[in-house]
Amino acid sequence: MKNYYSWIDTAFVKYVPQPLQHLAANEQAKRLGGKIVFYNGEDFKTLNNHSVIKSKIEQKPEIDGIIFFTLKQFFNNGKLNLLFLKWILERGYEVHFSRENVKICSKEELDTLFPLLYATHHVTQRDEPRQVWKPIWNLMPN
Query: What pLDDT is attached to residue 131?
Result: 59
Q: How many residues does the chain have?
A: 142
The predicted pLDDT at position 135 comes to: 46
Distance spanning both ends of the chain, measured CA to CA: 42
The structure's pTM equals 0.86
pLDDT value, residue 79:
77
Low-confidence ranges of the chain (pLDDT < 50): 135-140, 142
Residue 49: what pLDDT? 87
Assess contact for 113 and 119: CB atoms under 8 A.
no
pLDDT, residue 19, reads 92
Cα distances (Å, whole numbers) of residue 103 to 66, 116, 119: 10, 12, 16
Which domains are delineated in the chain? 2-137 (3.40.50.1390)
pLDDT recorded at residue 137: 46
CA distance 5 to 96: 10
